[in-house]
């Protein structure tokens, strides 16, 4: 993601070789899912998703360490990011 650390918006980019169903979820440091920022068909090539620091409930999340997980049928990867207010 860029920028990292971020406040209040970050862009998460990922590349897939073929069009495939994908999900991109955000988790807090306790492992609780706070947001799903992408859930659908990821196009072959580069995909960009913007997260504005809010949870699925629409409220801003607290400053801290978060993890984003990209999951497809053939691939799963988790990375760390920091929200600083």
If we measure between CA atoms, which residue out of 13, 38, 45 comes closest to residue 23? 38
pLDDT of 85 over the 90 cut: no
Per the CB < 8 A criterion, the answer to whether 10 and 81 are in contact is yes
Q: 57: which DSSP letter? A: T
26-65 pLDDT, tens digit per residue, is 999 999 999 999 999 999 999 999 999 999 999 999 999 9
Task: Report the chain's mean pLDDT, rounded to a whole number.
Answer: 97
Backbone angles phi and psi of 43, in degrees to 5: -75, 150
pTM for the complete prediction? 0.94
User: Rounded CA gap, 52 and 61, in Å?
Assistant: 10
pLDDT of 79 over the 90 cut: yes
């Amino acid at each position: 993601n860029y920028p990292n650390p971020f406040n209040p918006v970050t862009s998460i980019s990922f590349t897939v070789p073929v069009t495939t169903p994908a999900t991109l979820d955000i988790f807090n440091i306790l492992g609780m899912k706070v947001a799903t920022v992408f859930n659908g068909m990821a196009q072959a090539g580069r995909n960009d998703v913007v997260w504005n620091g809010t949870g699925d409930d629409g409220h801003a999340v607290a400053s801290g360490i978060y993890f984003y997980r990209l999951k497809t049928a053939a691939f799963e990867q988790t990375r760390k990011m920091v929200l600083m207010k």
